[in-house]
């Protein structure tokens, strides 16, 4: 029986383990904390990702290794790859861990990006603001996600406050200034590439964020075929350049009918959670198929789907489960402000039926503001 090792024991590892059960797979999860939620469904090895003894024990017990988050040290992945197959490869992981390397790669591949500039000193911040312009965002090059490690600079007068907030990290994780994009829509393309180079994407997804954290995802996004084809082409260029194996997401801004790349996530992705019930093959099962060298499953949709993220604490499950197309996912985490603790997916064959279900759930849970954006899209046209 094949054992898949997962570095990182959060909800993504948990859902990978659940999706791998029908394939007859075993899992070993490695995380730095003993209460990692994936440990409720798979054996858990607790250790630091830089501890070679812990990594050696991990490698000795698995047939293939992957990740559930992108901040696993790339050098640890490189060390591991000399002992067991690792997918995606450490080079892809390293690119995605550094916003400067990531944006540079986008530009090399002809994928449009907002203006950006690297920053190492306070003086360089002033130079970057002059080049990129304001408003803009000062970000850490590494370790930031879900809105963390970012400071919004609205005017030049905000430069001192931005440096006070993040400047100390310039020497450790590096900083980058990115132009603020007055986008109309946030989109993502979730893609998978197999060991043999086969490439597939799920339908383009539209996303809404609150305070930098994903709030809702709707699929398929209402976009014209040319825009969807462009997003797919960008994702394919990235996958082929990096010789990528597994699932990844390319986050995009849409402005004036044009796409700008925001960031790459080298793993299964929050905006693809709807695929569990809303597609023939979920992102989780296809990620496992890819890393194991198995044929990829069809990413075709089953009607229309909307995923709602639960942040901080779980709401009441009843209103979602009362819907014929309602699906509930509790990650088994302790409630904590800003923490992703679960999600729900609602699915329907027709957009109007999905909109009605979302409105009922929003009303029952007091989540009208959360469901309003996807309902507006579903009702339009």
Q: Please give the sequence-ordered ranges of beta strands (E in DSSP) within the chain, or none if there are none.
A: 3-7, 26-31, 44-46, 64-67, 116-119, 136-140, 150-153, 175-179, 185-193, 199-201, 205-210, 213-219, 246-255, 258-265, 304-311, 326-330, 340-348
For tokens 């370790």, name the residue: 143
CATH superfamily of 115-179: ATP-grasp fold, A domain (3.30.1490.20)
Cα–Cα dist 371/189, whole Å: 21
Query: What CATH number belongs to 185-379?
Result: 3.30.470.20
Mean pLDDT over residues 150-159, rounded?
91
pLDDT in tens, 324-344: 999 999 999 999 999 999 999
Structure confidence at residue 119 (pLDDT): 92
Q: Which two three-digit tokens encode residue 75?
A: 């050098």
Measured over the CA atoms of residue 237, residue 242, residue 247 and residue 253, the dihedral's sign is negative
Give dist(CA 95, CA 239) in Å, integer: 12
Radius of gyration (Cα) for the chain, nearest Å?
20
> So where are the chain's domains?
3-86, 115-179, 185-379
Q: Rounded distance, CA 330 to CA 321, Å? A: 13
CB contact set of 21 (below 8 Å; sequence gap of 6+): none
pLDDT tens per residue, range 182-225: 899 999 999 999 999 999 999 999 999 998 899 999 999 999 99
CATH code of 3-86, in short, is 3.40.50.20
DSSP one-letter string for 191-218: EEE-TT--EEEPPPEEEEEETTEEEEEE
* Residue 146 confidence class, pLDDT cut points 50, 70, 90: low
């Amino acid at each position: 029986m094949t054992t898949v090792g997962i570095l990182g024991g959060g909800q993504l590892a948990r859902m990978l383990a659940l999706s791998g059960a029908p394939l007859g797979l075993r899992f070993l999860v490695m995380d730095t904390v003993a209460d990692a939620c994936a440990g409720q469904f798979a054996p858990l090895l607790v250790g630091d990702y830089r501890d070679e003894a812990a990594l050696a024990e991990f490698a000795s017990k698995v047939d293939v290794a992957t990740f559930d988050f992108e901040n696993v040290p790339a050098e640890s992945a490189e060390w591991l790859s000399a002992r067991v197959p690792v997918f995606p490869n450490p080079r892809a992981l390293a690119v995605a861990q550094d916003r400067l390397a990531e944006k540079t790669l986008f530009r090399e591949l002809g994928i449009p990006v907002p203006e950006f500039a690297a920053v190492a000193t306070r003086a360089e911040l002033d130079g970057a603001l002059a080049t990129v312009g304001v408003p803009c965002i000062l970000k850490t090059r590494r370790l930031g996600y879900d809105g963390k490690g970012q400071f919004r600079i609205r005017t030049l007068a905000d430069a001192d406050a931005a440096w006070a907030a993040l400047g100390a990290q310039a020497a450790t994780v590096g900083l980058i200034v990115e132009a603020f994009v007055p986008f109309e829509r946030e989109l993502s393309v979730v893609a998978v590439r197999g060991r043999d180079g086969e490439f597939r994407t799920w339908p383009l997804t539209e996303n809404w964020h609150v305070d930098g954290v994903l709030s809702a995802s709707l699929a398929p996004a209402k976009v014209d075929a040319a825009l969807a084809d462009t997003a797919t082409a960008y994702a394919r260029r990235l996958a082929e350049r990096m010789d990528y194996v597994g699932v990844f997401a390319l986050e995009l801004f849409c402005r004036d009918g044009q796409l700008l790349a925001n960031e790459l996530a080298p793993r299964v992705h929050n905006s693809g959670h709807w695929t569990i019930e809303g597609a023939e093959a979920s992102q989780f099962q296809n990620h496992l198929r890819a890393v194991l060298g198995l044929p990829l499953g069809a990413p075709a949709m089953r009607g229309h789907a909307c995923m709602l993220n639960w942040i901080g604490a779980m709401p009441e499950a009843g209103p979602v489960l009362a819907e014929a197309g309602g699906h509930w996912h509790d990650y088994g985490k302790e409630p904590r402000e800003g923490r992703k603790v679960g999600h729900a997916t609602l699915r329907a064959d027709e957009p109007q039926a999905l909109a009605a279900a979302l409105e009922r759930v929003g009303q029952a849970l007091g989540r009208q503001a959360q469901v309003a954006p996807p309902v507006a899209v579903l009702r339009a046209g």
